[in-house]
Amino acid sequence: MSPVKIEPIVPRLAQWKVANLHRHRALERCEIDQTIDAGDRDSGLFLRPLIIDQDGNIIEGEARLARAKVNCYTTVPCLVYDINKEQSLRLLLELAIANDRLNKYCRVVLADRLSVAYTKRAQMNDTAAERSALGKDAKRVGADVVKALAQLAGVSTGTYRNARFVRDHGIPRLKEHVQAGKMSIHRAYGIAHEDEPTQTRLIEEFLDRSEE
């Protein structure tokens, strides 16, 4: 399955009401706490406009918005992309990778929100002959989707599968440590195979060693 190609979309520059801007809904639904900002530490408040979609989802610029609120701004300059939800999430991931704003685990969790759409698209692209062997076809489609989504998240297919396993089988505390970057996906993947009490014990042991 080839990555979905989106025609270049030119954003429009606009003054946007601060009250109508919010954290990207995909980040909220995935319970991701990491800030998505380009990391600028300029003395001026807005050397660059925020990047948002037409629904007010912040694609880049959360820290700048926070400073605007502290300074009682009512509007801020924004580059507004008129795009659908999938395109908004893809742009969020693209900029997060470019600016090193989200770690691999967070990017996988976000990219996986598109798994249903990618699977349907892959199935629709199959010819009748390719659909004849359903069992084999389903497995192939699944592998193609994982490859495409891993590419979108900027990780290997192995890392993508491991991160999903941690998300699906890890206890909340384990996922919190991976999301915060305190534990690698690889280590968390091994722990996530255990039952809840064992996961808790292994996390404690890991933290004790980290503090030595």
Q: Which residue has the tokens 């380009």?
A: 38
- State if pTM tops 0.85: no
Residue 24 structure tokens: 């990207």
Please write the tens of the pLDDT for every residue from 129-179: 455 544 545 566 688 899 999 999 999 999 999 999 999 999 999 999 999
CB 177 within 8 A of CB 106: no
Evaluate the CA torsion angle 61, 64, 70, 72 in order and state its sign.
negative
Res 124: pLDDT: 76
Q: Going by C-beta distance under 8 Å and a sequence separation of 6 or more, which residues neighbour residue 82? A: 9, 12, 53, 54
pLDDT of residue 134: 46
From CA 182, how far away is CA 178, in angstroms rounded?
A: 6
Per residue in 95-104, pLDDT tens?
Answer: 999 988 899 9
> Which strands, in side-by-side order, build the sheet including 50-53?
12-17, 75-81, 50-53, 57-60, 22-23
